[in-house]
């Protein structure tokens, strides 16, 4: 699996499957998660993608910042994952540019849920599409 495909697989993994009432869904997701973790052993770049993607995507609940996952850590996890994701697609960003592609600290959605550090996937996907069209 190419690095960009691996990054997409991490992003699109069903991280919330552990909440399913269906044992079959949970079992399939656990098996896939194990496959993705094994692929991280292919090299440093794969391992780094796994660590960064899992740090952000694995915390899928997006509840209020807590002692375990404070707002500044959540923000950093987000922009680092975005930077690595785009790097895997051949797009190199500065730290400042990567930070612009995640929601800023203090960002809430219309329901009052904290979105700090959540990637702006619509913009990110557009960047990848434009880059791949070159």
Mean pLDDT of 100-106: 95
The whole-number pLDDT of residue 103 equals: 96
Using DSSP's 3-state secondary structure scheme, residue 80 falls into helix
Cα 31 to Cα 73: distance, rounded to the nearest angstrom: 28
User: Which DSSP category does 13 fall into?
Assistant: S
pLDDT for the residue 62: 64
Q: pLDDT of 27-72, one tens digit each?
A: 999 999 999 999 999 999 999 999 999 999 887 666 677 788 889 9
Question: Cβ(89)–Cβ(131) under 8 Å?
Answer: yes
Residue whose C-alpha is closest to residue 69's, from 84, 79, 55, 80:
55
- Using an 8 Å Cβ cutoff, are 56 and 78 in contact? yes
Over range 87-95, report the average pLDDT: 97
Q: Is 129 exposed, middle or buried (0-12, 13-18, 19+ CB in 10 A)?
A: exposed
Largest CA-CA distance found in the chain, in angstroms, rounded: 44
pLDDT for 68: 80
Residue 1: C-alpha distances to residues 7, 31, 35, 42, 80 (Å): 10, 17, 11, 10, 22
What is residue 61's predicted lDDT score, i.e. its pLDDT?
Answer: 65
The three-class DSSP label of residue 114 is: strand
Whose CA is closest to 105, among 68, 132, 67, 78?
78
Residue with tokens 């998660």: 33
What pLDDT, in 10s, does the model give residues 108-133?
989 888 889 999 999 999 999 999 99
Of 91 and 65, the one with more pLDDT: 91
Q: Is the pLDDT of residue 8 over 80?
A: yes
Record the tokens describing residue 29, joined without a space.
């997701």
pLDDT score recorded for residue 63: 67
């Amino acid at each position: 699996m190419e690095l960009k495909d691996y990054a997409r697989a991490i992003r699109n993994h069903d991280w919330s499957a552990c909440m399913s009432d269906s044992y079959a869904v949970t079992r399939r997701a656990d098996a896939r998660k194990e496959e993705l973790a094994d692929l991280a052993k292919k090299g440093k770049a794969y391992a780094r993608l796994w660590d960064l993607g899992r740090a952000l995507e694995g915390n899928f609940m997006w509840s209020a910042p807590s002692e375990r996952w404070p707002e500044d850590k959540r923000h950093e996890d987000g922009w680092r994952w975005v930077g690595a994701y785009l790097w895997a697609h051949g797009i190199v960003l500065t730290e400042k540019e990567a930070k612009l592609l995640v929601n800023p600290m203090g960002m809430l959605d219309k329901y009052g849920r904290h979105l700090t550090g959540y990637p702006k996937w619509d913009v990110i996907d557009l960047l990848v599409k434009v880059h791949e069209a070159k």
